[in-house]
């Protein structure tokens, strides 16, 4: 019975167990699917890593960040710097320091390092940024995104500038992406059940009350910001190893919109919401992509019209904002009522 302190963590991990089962079913279903379909699922899983990462910050702090895609860029470029063969790197990126040019790591090692690089950048930006609140904080994160994008898109000797950076091996497959998605969800679940996570959620619900109870809001936010940047950076690296090319413009407004849309549609305030959002948007995007190829609806024929997918996505997001502002999940997690009800009573008896 000395393990009682673990109980909240076990309860917290429960939604992840359920979601992992759902994932396992999807993987079993599509494990034998043709390459194209597998690739789509892998991309969705990479998005799941990114959105779970973003959720760790936005969901727990209540601060809408528009800057996390910048961390994806950091992760993707770090992965490129660490794995492109030295000979290629020397000619492609003459501005890199010598030690980095000489480094050639296995992708499996480069992915967590890319996450750490993103976390380090988050620490630097977060120190001042986390002091801001509300809309100013959102604008601040947007400014951060613009700074990162401008640097990556224009620092040609180090990043290749506006062009495409080739030379990375194909590493991300369905298994790798699933593994990281599970790690991200477990860490997110454990974090939000931890004392630090609860302090941050308290500040989200009522800033003044949390402060009065002794919560150091900027500090708690910074913890979540750095942790979330780690997984977003990992997602960036996985993204790079999936497409085998890094382009600065991939990590700007479009991807920011996509990830935020996933989070908003699913429900910003629960991990389950992040998962549901990624699933919903991925399926919707796929349906729209199929439609984009050409469908006749009566007299109107959208034959091969690009843009339809995005218009549909934006519409879905607006509808969610207006009619279901808490998202599809309503901000709730999956719970087992039988597990919770009797034990809560016993806790009440124990506390004097």
Partner 1 sequence: MILLQTVMDALNVGGLYAMMALGIGLIFGIMRLINFAHGELVMAGGYVIWLMGAYPEMLVIVGSLMAVIVLTLSVERAAFRPLRGSDPAVLLVASFAVSYFLQNLAVLFFGARPVAFTFLPDLARSIDLGGVRVPILQLFSMGLTVAALGGLVLMLKFTEIGIQLRAVAEDVVTARLSGINVNRVIAVAFVISAALAWVVSLVYSAQLGQLSPSMGVRPVVIAFVATILGGLGSLTGAALGGFAVGALTVLLDVLLPTELRVFREAFLFALVLAILLLRPQGLIRVRALQGRV
* Residue 306 found at the interface with partner 1 (CB under 8 A): yes
Print the binding letters for residues 45-84 with partner 1: x by CB under 8 A, - otherwise. ------------------xx-x------------------
* DSSP per-residue letters across 267-314: -TT-HHHHHHHHHHHHHHHHHHHHHHT-EEETTEEE-S-TTHHHHHHH
| CB of residue 73 to partner 1, shortest distance in Å | 13
Residue 241, Cβ density class (10 Å: 0-12 exposed, 13-18 middle, ≥19 buried): buried
* Residue 129 found at the interface with partner 1 (CB under 8 A): yes
| CB of residue 24 to partner 1, shortest distance in Å | 32
| CB of residue 117 to partner 1, shortest distance in Å | 18
How many residues of this chain bind partner 1 (CB under 8 A)? 44
SS3 165: strand
* Residue 253 found at the interface with partner 1 (CB under 8 A): yes
| 138-168 exposure pattern, b = at least 16 Cβ within 10 A, e = fewer | bebbbebbeebbebbbeeeebbbeeeebebb
Closest to partner 1 by CB, 31 vs 325, is 325
Closest to partner 1 by CB, 154 vs 175, is 154
Residue 302, Cβ density class (10 Å: 0-12 exposed, 13-18 middle, ≥19 buried): middle
Segment 158 to 187, residues that bind partner 1, using CB under 8 A: none
Closest to partner 1 by CB, 136 vs 290, is 136
SS3 33: coil
Confirm if 131 and 222 have CB atoms less than 8 A apart.
Answer: no
Query: Tokens 């699922």 appear where?
Result: 41
Residue 248, Cβ density class (10 Å: 0-12 exposed, 13-18 middle, ≥19 buried): buried
Closest to partner 1 by CB, 12 vs 118, is 118
* Residue 322 found at the interface with partner 1 (CB under 8 A): yes
Residues in contact with partner 1 by the rule CB under 8 A: 63-64, 66, 128-129, 131-132, 134-136, 138-140, 142-144, 146-147, 149-151, 154-155, 253, 257, 260-261, 264, 302, 305-311, 313-315, 317-318, 321-322, 325
């Amino acid at each position: 019975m000395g393990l009682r302190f673990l109980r909240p963590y076990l309860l917290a991990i429960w939604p992840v167990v359920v979601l992992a089962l759902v994932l396992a079913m999807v993987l079993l279903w599509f494990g034998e699917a043709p390459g194209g379909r597998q690739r789509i699922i892998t991309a969705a899983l990479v998005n799941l890593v990114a959105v779970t990462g973003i959720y760790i910050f936005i969901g727990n702090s209540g601060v809408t960040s528009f800057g996390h895609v910048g961390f994806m860029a950091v992760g993707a470029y770090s992965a490129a710097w660490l794995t492109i063969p030295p000979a290629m790197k020397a000619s492609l990126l003459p501005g890199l320091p010598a030690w980095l040019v000489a480094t050639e790591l296995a992708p499996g090692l480069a992915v967590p390092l890319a996450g750490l690089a993103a976390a380090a950048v988050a620490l630097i930006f977060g120190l001042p940024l986390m002091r801001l609140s509300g809309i100013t904080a959102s604008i601040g994160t947007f400014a951060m995104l613009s700074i990162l994008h401008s640097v990556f898109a224009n620092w040609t000797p180090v990043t290749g500038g506006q062009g495409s950076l080739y030379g990375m091996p194909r590493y991300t497959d369905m298994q790798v992406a699933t593994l990281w998605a599970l790690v991200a969800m477990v860490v997110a679940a454990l974090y939000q059940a931890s004392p630090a996570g609860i302090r941050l959620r308290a500040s989200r619900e009522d800033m003044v009350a949390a402060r009065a109870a002794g919560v150091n809001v900027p500090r708690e936010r910074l913890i979540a910001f750095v942790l979330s940047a780690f997984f977003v950076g990992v997602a960036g690296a996985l993204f790079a190893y999936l497409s085998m090319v890094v382009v600065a413009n991939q990590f700007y407004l479009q991807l920011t919109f996509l990830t935020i849309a996933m989070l908003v549609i699913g429900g910003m305030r629960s991990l389950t919401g992040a998962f549901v959002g990624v699933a919903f948007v991925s399926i919707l995007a796929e349906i729209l992509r199929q439609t984009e190829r050409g469908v006749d609806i009566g007299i109107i024929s959208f034959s091969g019209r690009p843009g339809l997918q995005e218009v549909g996505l934006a519409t879905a997001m607006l509808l969610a904002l207006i009619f279901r502002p808490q998202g599809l999940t309503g901000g709730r997690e999956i719970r087992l009522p039988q597990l919770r009800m009797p034990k809560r009573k016993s806790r009440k008896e124990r506390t004097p």
